[in-house]
Structures are given as structure tokens and as C-alpha cells.
């Protein structure tokens, strides 16, 4: 049975961006962890939230739904959502669900930070 | 890096749960009697692409007293999905059941279960199965569907088996959004999924009491998506019916 199997660490970049390191599985049970991480990342005024998927173990369709609601929440706060560390498999899933049209995907943390103006 | 062959069986199974990206939908092997409109060649939309407010609605039913695991419920649901739909609505999918990448044609009744003459559907549209594993499966809608979004069907153990439908949807275009604001489209959607869950519960000899929760995720409409009205499946299905006499005469003339 799938339950909470995710941890998220927020890194402050001393600027207008914050990085959320995701480790584990993003499914329906990850909602609190993801939203808590977002709140923490936003608390210091970050205008860009960068999601690090390098240690993502699994994401199901409920996880995609969570990313959609996170994106809407960020957009309402005039924040951008960026991502890096996605495997080819999850890049395809972002393409399938058209999340790649709203969350910009980068190859590395350096590239994502540069896109965030850091 | 871990090779695919060394991954646990569960991991491999879950990685094949996702459909591959598609540029355009393609319907195959539709049974006779289905009206196949507004699906072939359409693009998937998703909750970011619609026009109206973004809603998350969750419908849940507890299978009290049924000795059935969540996995068994999902297996039955996937294999017999069309049988649980409310009367007047038809789901024309693969004969083998719900599987990632499958495209299904939907022939739907209107509000209150209204159909055309001889039970003809008021709307012909479709869905694609984007995800399916042992615990859940999800659909995404194409251009023209009433809603742009995702629908996820799942079951879980929570002091017994609980079954859930969760939709994350926007009205696709301004006409559907007006229908939502008037309560017509929203109410039809609610009745539809509540009845589906009741039918599923009845399959397991349970009289289901459906709980519903609603969250307005995004109150804004997306005017940039107003153009979606061009694909409106209800309008296009109506035009198809209006054109029936012309097609009939044309067919006579070519014989």
C-alpha cells in the first residue's frame, strides 16, 4: 500500500530563488510535504521556486495533480516554477500532461538558477 | 546508475503505468453504434489549458462490509469500467479494459440524462488513459471535451476499502463555463460521478453513500483559452446531427 514516502528539503539561495530538493515518491500522500516546502520556500520572498527532481523515485498521476495545484498557487503569487533533475521518463510525463509548457525544465541546478536570474 | 534490470518488480511495473506522449489522439477499433466525433486528431488538454475556473472535486464511497481489497476493486473497475456509468452515457474503450495509452470515445447524455431521439448522445467526445497501475488510473481530456483536466480513479485501505474519483478540471471554453456558473454542467458532473460510484458499490453488494468535497483551486478564468470554443464537442455534435439530412441526400445521389 502506498503511503507517505517523500522528504523535501528547502535550500535558500540567498537571492530571489529557493530550491526544493525532493527525495522519494510524489503521490497523493505527498501533498502536505510539498505544500509545506512551498510555504517555507516562499517565506523569504523567493520569486522563483526550483524543484530538484534528481532523487525522485516515483510519481503517479496524483503527483502530477499536486504539481498542477502547486503551479497555480505559485502563479497567483507571481512566482515562477522551474525544475531540473528530471529523468527522460519523467520529462516524457511532463510532456504528456503538458506540464512542460508551464514549468520550465532545465538540465542542471546551475542552468535553473541562471534562468531564475541568479 | 541503477539499471532497469536490477530494479524491483514493483518499480518496473509502475514505470510502465504511464502512457507515452502523443501529439494527436487516434481512435482504433470502435464498436458499431458509437458516434466517433471530436476525438481523432485532437490534442490532450489538461487542467492548465482550459478556460474556466479550476476545480478539484473528490467523490468517495466506503465499501462497508465488502470483503474486497483496493487492488481487487481497481481490477474490477478497469475491466468493467463502462458498466458502471450512468444510463444514457456510453464509454467505448478497449475490449481488454483500461490500459495506459488507450483512447476511448464517449457518447454522453446532456443535463438530467437527456438524450436525443432514439437515445442518441448529445455529446460525442473522448478521453485518453494516461496512467494505470494496481491502485489507480487516470484519464486526460482532449480539445472539445466539456472539461480540460484530469480524472483519477483510486481505491485505498482506510479501515476498510474506500473508492474515490477525483477530478481536477476547468470548463474548456466560455460556453461550458457559463453552464458551470449556472450550475448546469457542474451539477451534471456531480450526479454523474456519484451515480458511477453507487453503481460500483452495488457491484460489491454495498449501498454506497457518496461523500463529496469541492475546492476552488483557481478562481480566475483564462481568456487566452477562449478560442477553445472552436473545438466545442457539444456544438460540433449538434452540427453533425443537423447535417444528417444533407449526408443522406448526398449518399442517395452517389448511389
What ipTM score was computed for the predicted complex, to two decimals? 0.91
B131 in contact with chain A, both atoms CB, cutoff 8 A: yes
B17 in contact with chain A, both atoms CB, cutoff 8 A: yes
A76 in contact with chain B, both atoms CB, cutoff 8 A: yes
CB contact under 8 A, A64 and B156: no
- Structure confidence at residue B9 as a pLDDT band (50, 70, 90): low
CA A10 to chain centroid, in Å, comes to 11
Return the pLDDT at B10: 64
Write out pLDDT tens, residues B52-100.
Answer: 999 999 999 999 999 999 999 999 999 999 999 999 899 998 877 899 9
CB contact under 8 A, B217 and A61: no
Number of CB pairs, chain A paired with chain B, less than 8 A apart? 74
* Element (DSSP H or E) covering residue B136: strand B136-140
Please tell me the pTM assigned to this model. Answer: 0.91
SS3 of chain A: helix, strand, coil, percent, to 5:
40, 30, 25
Cell of A50: 526550483
- Closest residue to B136, CB basis, from A58, A61, A76: A61
Average pLDDT over residues B11-23: 84
Per residue, what are the HEC states of A10-52?
EEECCCCEEEEEEEEEECHHHHHHHHHHHHHHHCCCCCEEEEE
What is chain B's mean pLDDT, rounded?
91
Average pLDDT over residues B224-233: 97
Report the interhelical angle of A61-76 vs A31-42 (nearest 10°).
20
- Closest residue to B168, CB basis, from A1, A65, A89: A65
CB contact under 8 A, A98 and B217: no
Report the interhelical angle of B70-79 vs B184-203 (nearest 10°).
110
- Closest residue to A68, CB basis, from B19, B45, B48: B48
Write out pLDDT tens, residues B121-163.
Answer: 889 999 999 999 999 999 999 999 999 999 999 999 999 999 9
Return the pLDDT at A53: 98
Taking the CA of residue B20 and the nearest CA in chain A, the distance in Å comes to 7
Average pLDDT over residues A41-51: 94
Q: Report the alpha-carbon distance of residue B246 to residue B39 in Å, rounded.
A: 23
**SS3 at position B152:** strand
User: For chain A, what percent of residues have pLDDT higher than 70?
Assistant: 98
Q: Report the alpha-carbon distance of residue A43 to residue A100 in Å, rounded.
A: 26
Write out pLDDT tens, residues B35-47.
Answer: 999 999 999 999 9
Amino acid at each position: 500500500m502506498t503511503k507517505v514516502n517523500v522528504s523535501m528539503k528547502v535550500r535558500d539561495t540567498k537571492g530571489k530563488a529557493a530550491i526544493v530538493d525532493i527525495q522519494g515518491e510524489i503521490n497523493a500522500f505527498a501533498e502536505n510535504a510539498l505544500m509545506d516546502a512551498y510555504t517555507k520556500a516562499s517565506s523569504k520572498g523567493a520569486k522563483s521556486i526550483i524543484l530538484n527532481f534528481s532523487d525522485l523515485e516515483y510519481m503517479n498521476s496524483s503527483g502530477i495533480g499536486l504539481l498542477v495545484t502547486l503551479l497555480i498557487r505559485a502563479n497567483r503569487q507571481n512566482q515562477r516554477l522551474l525544475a531540473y533533475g528530471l529523468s527522460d521518463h519523467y520529462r516524457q510525463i511532463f510532456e504528456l500532461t503538458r506540464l512542460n509548457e508551464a514549468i520550465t525544465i532545465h538540465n542542471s541546478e546551475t542552468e535553473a538558477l541562471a534562468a531564475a536570474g541568479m | 546508475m541503477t539499471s532497469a534490470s536490477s530494479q524491483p518488480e514493483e518499480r518496473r511495473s509502475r514505470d510502465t503505468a504511464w502512457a507515452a506522449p502523443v501529439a494527436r489522439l487516434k481512435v482504433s477499433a470502435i464498436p458499431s453504434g458509437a458516434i466517433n466525433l471530436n476525438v481523432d486528431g485532437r490534442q490532450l488538454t489538461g487542467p492548465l489549458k482550459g478556460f474556466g475556473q479550476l476545480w478539484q472535486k473528490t467523490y468517495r464511497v466506503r465499501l462497508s462490509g465488502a470483503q474486497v481489497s483496493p487492488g481487487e476493486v481497481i481490477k474490477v473497475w478497469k475491466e468493467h469500467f463502462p458498466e458502471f456509468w450512468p444510463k444514457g452515457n456510453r464509454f467505448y474503450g478497449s475490449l481488454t479494459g483500461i490500459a495506459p495509452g488507450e483512447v476511448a470515445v464517449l457518447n454522453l447524455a446532456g443535463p438530467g440524462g437527456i438524450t436525443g431521439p432514439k437515445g442518441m448522445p448529445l455529446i460525442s467526445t473522448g478521453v485518453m488513459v494516461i496512467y494505470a497501475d494496481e491502485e489507480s488510473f487516470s484519464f486526460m481530456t482532449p480539445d472539445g471535451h466539456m472539461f480540460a483536466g484530469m480524472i483519477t480513479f483510486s481505491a485505498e485501505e482506510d479501515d476498510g476499502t474506500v473508492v474515490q474519483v477525483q477530478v481536477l478540471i476547468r470548463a474548456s471554453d466560455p460556453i461550458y463555463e457559463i453552464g458551470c456558473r449556472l450550475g448546469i454542467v457542474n451539477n451534471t458532473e456531480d450526479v454523474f460521478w456519484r451515480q458511477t460510484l453507487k453503481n460500483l458499490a452495488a457491484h460489491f453488494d454495498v449501498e454506497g453513500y457518496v461523500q463529496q468535497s469541492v475546492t476552488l483551486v483557481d478562481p480566475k478564468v483564462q481568456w487566452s483559452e477562449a478560442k477553445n470554443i472552436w473545438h466545442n464537442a457539444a456544438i460540433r455534435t449538434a452540427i453533425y446531427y443537423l447535417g444528417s439530412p444533407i449526408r443522406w441526400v448526398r449518399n442517395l445521389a452517389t448511389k
